[in-house]
Amino acid sequence: MYAKCGSICIARRIFDQMPSLDMVSWTAMIMGYALHGPVQEALSLFRRMEMENGKPNYVAFVAVLTACSHAGLVDKAQKFFSNMTKDYGITPCLEHYAAVADVLSRAGKLEETYDFISKMHIKPTASIWSILLGACRVHKNGELAEIAAEKIFELEPKNIGSHLILSNVYSATGKWKEAAEIRMVMRMKGLKKQPACSWIEIKNKVHGFVAHDTSHPCYQKIVDAWETLKDQMEREGYVPNTTDALHDVEEEQKVISLSGHSERIAIVYGIISTSPGTTLRVTKNIRVCVDCHTVIKYISRIVRREIVVRDLNRFHHFNDGQCSCGDFW
């Protein structure tokens, strides 16, 4: 519970105080580390579990493979995957395949990822192909993106996220006509993008924000505080990264778009609404973009606070300009 709520240190303290440890306890703690960033702790705990508790089950391997995925440990992930079947006789399930596909794709090994998915012993799901599609967006591989998207659309014709990612890949590679066609298909299918939302709890009340949210009673105070923070960040060398912004607008508009992302609004509201030094905990319903990740690192150093952000993929613990994910998420 504590790990899921962002308090990995408390989770470990309770784990260490348990009179006896079963497989559920081990795997919960390993997965907690996998989601929070201290991957070496996850690997160390897995090895200790093997020595003290004997045979890991399939859930334990999901946890350790997830840890490898979140740290880009390709060789270790492949070794664990191999040992799982050879040494423990565990048949890979979708979660195991997904973790290995994820670590390969994050490392930019897109062809290897495609081959791995194609040779799975069970039929790949849309979520498995989405891993490859997402990596194609990052690495601007239009050819493989089309293949992955086609597989996804066969399984889930109304998958909104995949339509958007394919459109973004086309835009990033200069295929404006194809990008426009995807957007038109989305309109014809009645597909609408899920709005990005972030939440923060202040004094036992949850405050929700969407991108460019102007509805909050403290909106002007939030804007003023953001402008002050932005000026200080720029003096320290911050330059906006518009990679994840809309591709078909001017650069200035991209920067404005990034400034209104919901997690920034939530964090700034948290800063002006709590005492100095208070840890801020924000939840977001989609992945944190590259620029917001950089911005939050700057903010954590400027205001001297720990900022914990739980996005779609994992926990990010920002402290003194660094993130627990090591900029790998």
> 180-235, pLDDT tens digit by residue?
999 999 999 898 888 889 999 999 999 999 988 889 999 999 999 999 999 999 99
Q: How far apart (Å, rounded) are the C-alpha atoms in residues 19 and 188? A: 59
- Please check whether residues 117 and 214 belong to one and the same domain: no
Residue 303 belongs to a domain: yes
- Please check whether residues 25 and 103 belong to one and the same domain: yes
- Please check whether residues 33 and 129 belong to one and the same domain: yes
> What pLDDT is recorded for position 260?
86
116 contacts 147 by C-beta, under 8 angstroms? no
Q: Which regions in the chain score pLDDT beneath 50?
A: 247, 249
Q: How far apart (Å, rounded) are the C-alpha atoms in residues 181 and 169? A: 13
Residue 25 belongs to a domain: yes
Domain count across the chain = 2
- Indicate the pTM of the whole model: 0.77
> What pLDDT is recorded for position 3?
65
Nearest to 135 by CA among 157, 156, 106: 106
> What pLDDT is recorded for position 300?
97
Residue 329 belongs to a domain: no
Q: Which of 141, 170, 189 is the last residue of a domain?
A: 189
Q: Which of 147, 170, 189 is the last residue of a domain?
A: 189
> What pLDDT is recorded for position 98?
96
> What pLDDT is recorded for position 109?
96
> What pLDDT is recorded for position 42?
92
163 contacts 191 by C-beta, under 8 angstroms? yes
> What pLDDT is recorded for position 244?
58
- Please check whether residues 202 and 111 belong to one and the same domain: no
Nearest to 130 by CA among 102, 103, 107: 102
- Please check whether residues 185 and 282 belong to one and the same domain: no
Residue 328 belongs to a domain: no
- Whole domain around residue 75: which residue ranges? 2-189
- Please check whether residues 264 and 183 belong to one and the same domain: no
H helices within 202-289, ranges in order?
A: 219-235, 251-259, 262-273
- Please check whether residues 219 and 133 belong to one and the same domain: no
> What pLDDT is recorded for position 195?
86
- Please check whether residues 180 and 290 belong to one and the same domain: no
Nearest to 318 by CA among 302, 304, 301, 306: 306
Q: Which of 140, 158, 189 is the last residue of a domain?
A: 189
Burial 139-166 (b: 16+ CB within 10 A, else e): eebbebbbbbbebbbeebeebebbbbbb
